[in-house]
Chain A
Amino acid sequence: MARKATTSRRLVMTFVAYTFALILFFPILWMVITSFKSEADAIALPPKFLFFHWTLANYIDVQARNNYWRFAFNSVALSFGSTVLGLIVGIPAAYAFAFAPTKNTKQILLWMLSTKMMPAVGVLVPIYLLLLQFHLLDTFTGLILILFLSNLPIMIWMLYTYFKEIPHEILEASRMDGASRWKEIVYVLSPMAVPGIASTVLLNIILSWNETFWSLNVTNIHAAPLTAFIASYSSPEGLFWAKLSAASTLAVAPIVLLGWFSQRQLVRGLTFGAVK
C-alpha cells in the first residue's frame, strides 16, 4: 500500500519537474526557433511555432554583418587567458590558506571575498583611466587582467574549500622525501585536486564568457568578445528580431554546450563552497 502511494507521488513530482523545466527553458527554445524564421514570420500574429519556412538566412546575414568567428575567438582567448592567470595566482594562495593557516587567515579570506561586493560601476572611471595610462584599452591584456582580477576571489575560495579536504599527512610525507613547497604543489597537490580545479576552471570560464559590463566599457573592436557582439545589435525598435535571435544563439551556443556536458562538475563546484 505504502509503496503504491510513493510511486504515484513520484509520478506527479516527475511531471511537475518536467513542466517546470520546460517553462524555464522555453525562452531559450523560442530564441532558437525565431533564429530560423524570416523577419516577416518572426513578427507574424499570431506567433508561428513550428509551421513556417525554416531558413538559415539570418545566420548568413549575421556572419556577413560582423565576423562571428573573430568575436568567438576573442571570447575563448579572454576566458582561457583569465582562467590560466587565475590558477597561477590562485593555487598558491589557496594552498597557503588551507595548509599554512595563521591567525590572520580568516580575516584575509573575508577581506578577499568582500572585494567581490564592489559594484563595478563604482570603480569604472579609475580603472578606465588606469588602462588609458598604460595603453591597455581595447587590448587582450587589459580585459584579461580585469576578468582575472574580478573572478580571483571566487576562484581562490573554491580552490580553498577543495584543498581543505585533502589530508595534510600526504603533503607532509612528500616534504619528508625532500620535495620543495613548489614541487609539492605541482606534483602532489594539483593531481589530487583535479576535480576541484576542473570545477573552478569551468565556473571561471562561464563567468568570463558572460561578463558584459567591462567588455563593453573597455573594448572597442580589437578585443571585443561575444557579449559586445550582441550589444552591437542595439536597436530592438527596428524589426530585426530574427537576426538578433540568430546572433544570440551563436553567442550562447558554445557556453551552453560546455555547461551542459560538464553539468555534474559545475553543479558540484557551484555548491561546494556554499555548504561547507
Chain B
Amino acid sequence: MARPQSELLRARTRTAWLFLAPMLIVLAMVAGWPLLRTIWFSFTDANLGKMSQAKFIGFENYYASFGGILQDPDWWRSVWNTVWFSVVSVSLETVLGMIVALLLNVDFRGRGFVRAAVLVPWAIPTIVSARMWGWMLHDQFGIINDMLERAHLISGPVAWTADPHLSMWSVVFVDVWKTTSFMALLILAGLQLLPSDCYEAARVDGISPIKVFFRVTLPLIWPALVVAVVFRSLDALRVFDLIYVLTSSAKETMTMSVYARQQLVDFQQVGYGSAAATLLFLIIAAFTALTLIATRSRASEG
C-alpha cells in the first residue's frame, strides 16, 4: 500500500519542478545574477565610461580615508528622507484609506461610479500625475495657490516644490493622493468579508459606531491591514519616480533610490553607486526580515 502512494508523491514532485522550472530560471536570471553583479561592482572602482578597467578595491566605496559612502552626509540624509517619507506617507494612507473604505462599504447610489473614479489616480502613470501636480503646485501659475489665496488661507504665492521646508510635504501629499484609494480598496475587500451578524448584535445592544469600529471591525480586518501596510512600506522604501519628477535630485527630498541613480547615471560612478544600491538592498531585506519575524511570533502566540 505504501509503495504506490510514494510513487504518486514522487511523480507529483517531478511535475511540480518541471512546471516551476521556467519561472525559477527566469527569476534567477533577473533577480539573482544582476543582484550579484551589483554587489560585485560595489567592491570595484568601476566607471560607466571604462567598465573593462574596473579594479577590486575592497570596502573603499563604503569606508575609506578619502571618503566612502558611509562617511557621506548626503547619503545619511537620503536614508533619513526615505524613512521619514515611508513612515509619514504610509501612516496617512492607512488612516485615510480606512475612512474611505468605511465610506465605500455603505451601499449608496452610484457606488460603482465613485469606486471607479477614485481608482483613476492609481491607474495612471506616476510620471503623468507627478507632472500634473508639479504644474498645479506651481508658485506663479498653479491653481492650488490661486484657490488657497481666494480662500484667504495664504497671503502670497507659495513655492510648494522648491521651498526646502515644504517640498517633502508636497511629495508626501501627492503620494497620498495617488495611493490612498488603492489602500482603501485593499481594506474594503477585507471589510466585505466580515460576517454581518457581529454588527447586528452590536446594533441591537445599542453600542456606538465608534466603539463598534475599534472593538469589532478593526480586530477582524487586522490581518488584511497588516499585509497592505507591509506591501505599501516596501514600495515606499524604494520610491523613485514621483520624487525624481517632482523635485529632481534636490537634497531635501533625495531618497536612497534617487541617490543611487544620481551616482550611477549622472556621475557614472558605477562602483560607488552600486555600494549605495547594495546598502538599499540590505536595508529593505532587514525590514522584510523584521516584519516576517514579527508576524510569525504573533501567529505562534495566537
Contacts and interface: CB of A to CB of B under 8 A. Distances in A.
Contacts of B150: 46
B38 A266 contact: no
Interface stretch (A12-20, A52-60, A190-198): A12-20
**Closest 10 interchain pairs by CB?**
A271-B189, A122-B277, A126-B34, A96-B19, A115-B31, A123-B34, A126-B37, A93-B23, A92-B19, A210-B125
A100 B238 CA distance: 34
Given A10-B108, A231-B127, A251-B128, A24 B117 contact: yes
A1 interface: no
Given A149-B27, A241-B141, A266-B119, A114 B132 contact: no
A143 to B, nearest CB: 13
B19 A93 contact: yes
Interface in B87-116: 100, 103-104, 106-116
- The dominant DSSP class at the A interface is helix
Chain B: interface residue count, which band?
Answer: 35 or more
B22 interface: yes
A255 B124 contact: yes
Q: Is the interface of B mostly helix, strand, loop or mixed?
A: helix
A170 interface: no
Interface residues of A, number: 87
B264 interface: yes
A90 B228 CA distance: 23
Q: Which of B16, B33, B261, B274 has the most CB of A within 10 A?
A: B16
B123 interface: yes
A81 B240 CA distance: 26
A14 B105 CA distance: 11
A30 interface: yes
Contacts of A46: 146, 150
Interface string B157-196: 0000000000000000000010011100110111001000
A24 B181 contact: yes
7 contacts: A95-B19, A100-B12, A118-B35, A122-B260, A209-B125, A241-B141, A251-B125
Given A45-B141, A263-B115, A125 B264 contact: yes
A117 B119 contact: no
Contacts of B285: 117
Contacts of B125: 209-210, 212, 226-227, 230, 251-252
Contacts of B1: none
A195 to B, nearest CB: 15
A102 interface: yes
A210 B124 contact: yes
B207 interface: no
B27 to A, nearest CB: 6
Contacts of B180: 24
Nearest to A182: B19
Given A13-B103, A263-B112, A274 B231 contact: yes
Contacts of B15: 96, 100, 181
A219 to B, nearest CB: 14
B143 A47 contact: yes
Interface in B1-48: 12-13, 15-20, 22-24, 26-27, 29-31, 33-35, 37-38, 41, 48
Given A10-B106, A149-B26, A227-B127, A124 B261 contact: yes
A210 B262 CA distance: 22
Given A16-B103, A45-B146, A256-B120, A271 B186 contact: yes
